[in-house]
Structure 1
Amino acid sequence: MKKFLVLSLVTLTFILSGCATTGSAPPNEKRNLVKSMRANTLTQLYQQKPDVKQQIASSAGYAVFDNANVNVVLASFGGGYGVVKNNLTGKSTYMNMGEAGLGVGLGVKDFNVVMVFHNQAALNRFVEHGWAFGANADAAAKYEDTGGALVAEAIADQVTVYSLTENGLALQAVLKGTKFWIDSELNR
């Protein structure tokens, strides 16, 4: 069991280092990486759920995040980065995220989240406070184009959330908290 925990932590470190925007690259290059991730994620979501394109166009704004998550028996940890686009002002706000939770599960997965804010108050609340708390149950087994994972959809507090699994193997039921915060380096 001890070896499995160490392996899981090493795997988490590897995953998070592969998808984090930190490092020695200049801020402009990091912003371009986030914009590319956003474009790729939206393209994938529109292919699977074409009606979301109109939903985003008529919303107050949207956010797209890339997240890596590791679940080891009773604990879940994750982190990532993304951007919030305010459709009314045209402003983009770059953000980071981290999450931790408790629950039963085992696995590692890389997934993207798209949040659609149906009014300006919901968007402002997210950018200013950034907390999310909830329960999550899923099963994913996917590597590149092989395997499968559902496009999950949840609606709460004037926000619709879509989750798309990129890669991973996970079976989990977790109660977790997620903190989103503004990336001071990328918003200069």
Structure 2
Amino acid sequence: MRKLLPLLFFLTSFISYSQDLLTLKDGTDIESKILEVLLHDVKYKKFNNLNGPTFTIPKSSILIIRYENGTKDIFDIPISQTVLAEPLPKPPTSSELYQMGATDAYSNYRAGNSGRGATFFTSLISPIIGLIPAIACSSNSPRDGNLNFPNSELKKNPSYYSGYKHKATRIKKGQIWKNWGIALGINVTAITLLVKGQY
């Protein structure tokens, strides 16, 4: 009889591991053959009917799967212990928001007249007198109503707003001084032609 005990133990362990065992969260055990473990579901056949239908059960209902080879998968792991497949995107830093604001201003801000016309026409009469509107207009930042923000939510962020307004101010100044330079060039050309015409 003692010689038969190791053999019985071996046969018992072989039989107990010859199928997979699904344990559900409600305590139900299902002797099965696991076919596929998918992202949200598990496909299996009942062990006592391997030629029968394929069943699908959501992973959320499963506590543990014990496989015939002795390994197991546990599905009731708290979310704090799980590793996410993709990390959540980090929110942009202040410097990134500032740069985003500057980029958006370059694409969306339109200076309109913003003193360019007054600078140009005054500078045509006299480039020196034209310096007055050029300096006055370029020393002021554009008004918020003229900034043409593409995103009203981002506008509320101080870093984004600062980057956008700084770039818009530079664009406005650049256009005003460009008009002053064009008027100066026209004046110099006109004076040069007049001087040449006299000789």
Which structure is higher in strand share? Answer: 1
The answer to whether TM tops 0.5 is no
State the TM-score, normalizing by the size of structure 1.
0.21
The structure with the larger Rg is 2
State the TM-score, normalizing by the size of structure 2.
0.21
Which structure is higher in helix share? Answer: 2
